[in-house]
Structure 1
């Protein structure tokens, strides 16, 4: 904006500064000029407006101090007294009043009308707006050029810093990850993430060491995905600074949207590739082409991993009435009841392999995150890398997630088996007691290996042939035969312990076991029949954990 000093410097206006006012007042921005002859112009006067008057209000004023006081209380930038033929000099009383109140006072020559001062103010304002527009366009071009050249979020902040070095900024996403800009510690990043999760998000976030910092929301494909943090309180930023940071926040949003779109495309191709690998009818040449697109040699050594959040109820699969996807009659599975893998976990796994500089296909499924990655050879021990992944995803000890590792093989023909092995291993590890949940398929028990080597359709047919009659009877009669046989096997065939766990009499338990034998033709007192029942119940879990199609589909 223009200033009193700039108006005085314009010789065509013939302005003379009589009182400079408070220190620095002549160099402060002036909002506009206001012509008035009211004794009290304060109801109509905006802050930092310059008052123009001929002094006609003197007729009703007790003193000039009264008029000056009204201007001062309204926050006026100063007073311009316009000389007239009747008043060829500025009244000494007005000069004294302005000097006493520290209000700037200027004198305008008789030959210069107030309209000339208004015109000068309008020209100065228009020039200022033109300069601001030019700077905005120039900065917009620089920001667009940075984004188009792949400068990313850091490039946006670099452009902002060149134009406004006094503004210290940073970008933090909704997961509390520092993306670019001024260094923030983990606690400060968490504060930003908490602010983004609030509804509505606050204008400021308070840091312990730095105090309040302004929050500018950055949206991508929906919602506030990140925040551009200016390490200055919002109320300490002037309108121009806020406009500049808001402009930068829009380009950060654009960069986030571009990144998310690229990730969405990659995720789609990853999911399609995983589906192709899992299918027995897919041409291996198509799988090989897709692997090459991810930078993986399809003829080299390959392996597969599966990652999932560890189950907090480790004993769920051994309880009398387990709550897992396969523990209900096939076909009654509600897709919404299956835990959905958070997208944050998929992003975190993908970011891990980027940091490790390892090409990988990462895709999220209903219960786990599947990964296909290259290996150095048949004896390549990837356990160390898997433990690093578990540590980075968990609580620092690697106990928060389960990572199942498939076998290492050469060529795309081995990937399908490795993927099945990894998912079976991950499923088992999820339900183990707290501890390090990273293991290879080969390290599991023999029955896990046996089930992991079968395809889901085969497992379903076997399980339904054995358990199907029991489930139909439970559905029709409201009985608890499946829960009974599970409890009996979990208690190693001990009658008294099983009856106590089920809260029934031993004779009731014997009647139930007899009914189970009648329905499925398996006698739990015979070892081979007991093995059939045990494997069938575990096969239900394994088959549904692999492709989640539900058990009644046969």
Structure 2
């Protein structure tokens, strides 16, 4: 298994030559590495000459410091601390000519350089500082010019992707071609959206993304390429620079985040089996991530417009304003929907306590995904407070609702209630089916609370009660029919109402009711007598029993 995808460095990319590459220039062909081998990957951006005692005030990070040792001739004891001071200030290496003012470096200084990975270099006696300065600075400038030229090439190629209206496929193709690596665009959920590069490397990259572990900072120290104590001559002619890809510090995997509108939309991941991804390549990957962010924003805008058109059209269909059945079927087909077959309408409505500002988008997303999994030709769209899905009548609507709820419940506290219509044989009956599903969702919530799932055919008498718009009249009916049992103000009355409910549900079967309520037979007989004194002789009056049953049903309907 390949190592996990590693994130790109978050610091500034330093363009220059590594110390190992500096030692390869012709003027330093006879230089000798005294200590600090592990620091050969340090980057040199500039050079400085140390000929004054207080040089520490003038040095800068990523410098190669040249000296004859003249400032140190009278204070050899300061050499032991010099390496730590230079390393603390971020210098890349110290190059010294021995034999003129300092005969040899103290053992303490060499040990400290090895411990810190700070290269100490002995310069040849016959090479002047001006020659070293001229050649190394020329190579650094050439390297930086090559990096800028390559970056400009990448910029032009990626900008062309945007101008041509390309997508993530074109972005990954462009980066793979520029860097000669495998590239993948991954969304925030870890799904691979686009890939490019050699097929074998793409397969490895996909496996690595699938098993992505904790983010680990990338390797910044290159492998040791210089043998102990001596440095081989550089084969590149003087005043030239190796290709940018020859820069040390390559990595196998690099991951760069795609950020748009302050939100993370995923990442661009690159893989090279030879570890050829350099710090300079990370800059190109970051440019690609910026282009990918623009692609994501553009696609989101397109999706938002298309979503509005889909929602407007489906709303017209469900309210009977979309035109003839032929026109509706034809337009639905353009959206990939099949409305010619028998279908079922489902309505998912946010419960009142949900935060609609954030929940509605998540509701649409979860229902869209669930609909696509169960019926690829099903219609789904989000309205202002609800999501409507029109599915093949053979699809298990309860299972679709469960899948959507499972995805939606990952981010509480919002909930939604779902209603399902009767099967609709054609476009003409879709408005009626929509009304049924909406009624089922709302009555189901009244009966069972938030998160209810109800089918229109299972509403029974509650469907009729929900048609009564005058809720005050329903409240009055409950008070007149149940009297003191209409409220929970008295615990004994509430207990009696539960006894009445059980009696009516068992069709006045005293033995069954006593068993269900765990009462003694005589205790239940006593309660029946008390109920009849409060409500009337309901055991002998079927009309009174009907009224009592309806009143209890009304009490079960929450929100009335």
TM-score (norm: length of structure 2): 0.59
Inter-partner Cα distance in structure 2 for 1:185 and 1:14: 46
Q: Is the 8 A contact 2:350 2:360 kept in 1?
A: no
Inter-partner Cα distance in structure 1 for 2:308 and 2:436: 23
Q: Is the 8 A contact 2:47 2:65 kept in 1?
A: yes
1:74 aligns with 2:114: no
| Correspondence for 1:354 among 369, 372, 375 | 372
Inter-partner Cα distance in structure 1 for 2:86 and 2:177: 35
Inter-partner Cα distance in structure 2 for 1:351 and 1:262: 18
Q: Is the 8 A contact 2:168 2:185 kept in 1?
A: no
Shift in Å, 1:184: 6.4
Q: Are residues 48 and 68 of structure 1, via their aligned partners in 2, closer, same or farther at CA, if it must alter by over 3 Å?
A: farther
Moved more, 133-142 or 401-410: 133-142
Per the alignment, residue 263 of structure 2 pairs with 224
Shift in Å, 1:499: 6.0
Once the two structures are superposed, what CA deviation does each residue of 1:66-86 show, in whole Å capped at 9, x if it has no partner? Answer: 257425421233334479xxx
Determine helix, strand or coil for the equivalent of 1:300: coil
1:107 aligns with 2:123: yes
Per the alignment, residue 9 of structure 1 pairs with 24
Q: Are residues 341 and 291 of structure 1, via their aligned partners in 2, closer, same or farther at CA, if it must alter by over 3 Å?
A: farther
Determine helix, strand or coil for the equivalent of 1:359: coil
| Correspondence for 2:482 among 494, 507, 526 | 494
Q: Is the 8 A contact 2:83 2:112 kept in 1?
A: no
Q: Is the 8 A contact 1:301 1:411 kept in 2?
A: yes
Inter-partner Cα distance in structure 2 for 1:164 and 1:47: 32
Per the alignment, residue 296 of structure 2 pairs with 256
Per the alignment, residue 55 of structure 2 pairs with 41
Q: Are residues 241 and 278 of structure 1, via their aligned partners in 2, closer, same or farther at CA, if it must alter by over 3 Å?
A: same
Moved more, 144-153 or 250-259: 144-153
1:274 aligns with 2:314: yes
Inter-partner Cα distance in structure 1 for 2:356 and 2:398: 30
Q: Is the 8 A contact 1:160 1:248 kept in 2?
A: no
Q: Is the 8 A contact 1:487 1:502 kept in 2?
A: no
Inter-partner Cα distance in structure 2 for 1:304 and 1:254: 37
Q: Is the 8 A contact 1:306 1:422 kept in 2?
A: yes
Q: Is the 8 A contact 1:394 1:401 kept in 2?
A: no
Inter-partner Cα distance in structure 2 for 1:492 and 1:69: 98
| Correspondence for 1:51 among 65, 77, 101 | 65
Per the alignment, residue 316 of structure 1 pairs with none
Determine helix, strand or coil for the equivalent of 2:143: helix
Per the alignment, residue 382 of structure 1 pairs with 396
Q: Is the 8 A contact 2:79 2:106 kept in 1?
A: no
Q: Are residues 151 and 100 of structure 1, via their aligned partners in 2, closer, same or farther at CA, if it must alter by over 3 Å?
A: closer
Shift in Å, 1:374: 4.2
Report the aligned-residue RMSD.
Answer: 5.3
Once the two structures are superposed, what CA deviation does each residue of 1:293-348 show, in whole Å capped at 9, x if it has no partner? Answer: 21224433333211135678xxxxxxxxxxxxxxxxxxxxxxx9989852011011
Q: Is the 8 A contact 1:291 1:298 kept in 2?
A: yes
Shift in Å, 1:413: 1.4
Once the two structures are superposed, what CA deviation does each residue of 1:418-441 show, in whole Å capped at 9, x if it has no partner? Answer: 111111111222333379944432
Shift in Å, 1:143: 10
Per the alignment, residue 407 of structure 1 pairs with 422
Q: Is the 8 A contact 2:419 2:439 kept in 1?
A: yes
Per the alignment, residue 305 of structure 2 pairs with 265
| Correspondence for 2:36 among 10, 14, 22 | 22
Matched residue count: 424
Counterparts of 1:116-265 in structure 2 under 5 Å?
A: 116-136=131-151, 141=157, 151=168, 155=172, 159=176, 171=186, 173=188, 177-180=189-192, 182-183=208-209, 218-220=258-260, 222-228=261-267, 243=283, 246-265=286-305
Q: Is the 8 A contact 1:390 1:400 kept in 2?
A: no
Once the two structures are superposed, what CA deviation does each residue of 1:266-310 show, in whole Å capped at 9, x if it has no partner? Answer: 210122113312444542355334312212244333332111356
1:419 aligns with 2:438: no
Determine helix, strand or coil for the equivalent of 1:296: coil
Unaligned runs of 5+ in 2: 1-15, 114-118, 193-205, 219-252, 271-276, 492-543
Per the alignment, residue 517 of structure 1 pairs with none
Inter-partner Cα distance in structure 2 for 1:101 and 1:54: 20
Shift in Å, 1:108: 5.3
Inter-partner Cα distance in structure 2 for 1:427 and 1:124: 75
Inter-partner Cα distance in structure 2 for 1:411 and 1:94: 97
Ranked by relative contact order (alpha carbons within 8 Å, sequence separation 6 or more), the top structure is 2
| Correspondence for 2:334 among 293, 296, 314 | 293
Q: Are residues 42 and 58 of structure 1, via their aligned partners in 2, closer, same or farther at CA, if it must alter by over 3 Å?
A: closer
Shift in Å, 1:227: 4.7
Inter-partner Cα distance in structure 2 for 1:393 and 1:417: 29
Q: Is the 8 A contact 1:80 1:108 kept in 2?
A: no
Unaligned runs of 5+ in 1: 84-88, 193-202, 205-212, 232-236, 313-335, 452-458, 468-481, 504-524, 542-554
Q: Is the 8 A contact 2:95 2:123 kept in 1?
A: yes
